Structure 1
């Protein structure tokens, strides 16, 4: 009977032991993510160098650098001192645009894309164009030079623009309707 008590005591001691965490079968060091980050940095640097090279071929044009990582120049700049409004979150803008390669080969010609009505930051639009519109005033035409990560990125546009292609977009902003005006109209 004493032996049976000792055995039961041992089982109780083993059964009351706290559970140990299981170790993963394999561990990832994060090197894939680090490699991906490095590849992306190299691609961005390549895009930017190429765009700067192309801008260097046109010394007569005054290129401006945006804080968002792209370049642009004015084809038609507003000189009206009363025209100071740029689109803000929720404003509705009406614009036309065409897209070409950085070298100037047409991808979507003027008029090929329909005039677009867009609610700022509330609808889908590629990053660079969304940021570029915020720099414009009514009546202006601006040409933007976007590195691929500001354009259509890895996926392209699934039609004419391939993966990781830097582009040029010529945009004409026709109209800006303020958000507060939109709410009154509805």
Structure 2
């Protein structure tokens, strides 16, 4: 009798052990509305900044503005039509730049920033993405003024005690030199 009971217990435990695992249900379900709301909020911010930048361009018709593929606008203060090289991946460049609000208020001067040495697309340097993209459009000796929406500049964080969050900026960059790196 005990033997039969042990066989039955063993057989039942064998059957229960072969049961496939069940997926656990999440404790809290998220519908993704936060991300959707964030996307909508960022689209509205970008549109407002774009209108602000377009108004600045409209008020300065003496400049011939160009739109970049990266989402910012720029014009040449001085253009070198004889130079042919532009910075490429891995090239070492030197340049100076400033950061101003769209109304011209200086946020960071060239003197504060100093001479920048940057290895294109390889340096972990603390440069905003707009500057990293902008220098690739320049030739040595050129000076270009860029108008960056906040997502290409300092974005949500701004610069503590100098520039507020989600503020579009302008930056005048002078590319001093390009040292091309030879690939093996």
Instruction: Judge same fold: TM > 0.5, yes or no.
Output: yes
Alpha-carbon offset, residue 29 of structure 1: 1.4
Q: Compute the displacement of 1:6 (Å).
A: 4.9
Distance 1:15 1:98 in 2: 70
Structure 2 counterpart SS, 1:111? helix
Q: Which residue of 1 aligns with 2:72?
A: 70
* Secondary structure, aligned partner of 2:80: coil
Partners of 1:89 and 1:157 in 2: CA distance: 28
SS of 2:37's partner is: helix
In structure 1, how many angstroms separate the alpha carbons of the residues matched to 2:40 and 2:61? 32
Alignment partner, residue 162 of structure 2? 160
C-alpha distance after superposition, 1:40-91 (max 9, x if no partner): 11111111111001111112211111111000011111132xx110000110
Name the SS of the counterpart of 2:130 in structure 1.
Answer: helix
1:90 equivalenced with 2:78 (yes/no): no
The verdict on how the C-alpha distance between 1:66 and 1:13 changes in structure 2, with shifts beyond 3 A counting, is: same
User: Which residue does the alignment assign to 2:143?
Assistant: 141
Indicate the larger mover: 28-37 or 91-100: 28-37
Post-superposition CA distance 1:86-125 (Å, at most 9, x none): 0001101111111110111111223232111111111232
2:58 aligned to 35, 56, 59, which one? Answer: 56
Give the structure 1 partner of residue 34 of structure 2.
32
1:127-160: per-residue Cα shift (whole Å, max 9, x none)?
Answer: 1001100010010000000000001112224452
Confirm whether residue 107 of structure 1 aligns to residue 130 of structure 2: no
Per-residue deviation at 1:11? 4.2
What residue number does 1:43 align with? 45
3-state SS of paired residue (1:54): helix
Mapped to 2, the partners of 1:151 and 1:43 lie a distance apart of: 14
Is 1:120 the counterpart of 2:120 in the alignment?
yes
Count of residues paired in the alignment: 180
Deviation at 1:176, TM superposition (A): 0.5
- Of residues 117, 133, 142, the one that matches 1:131 is 133
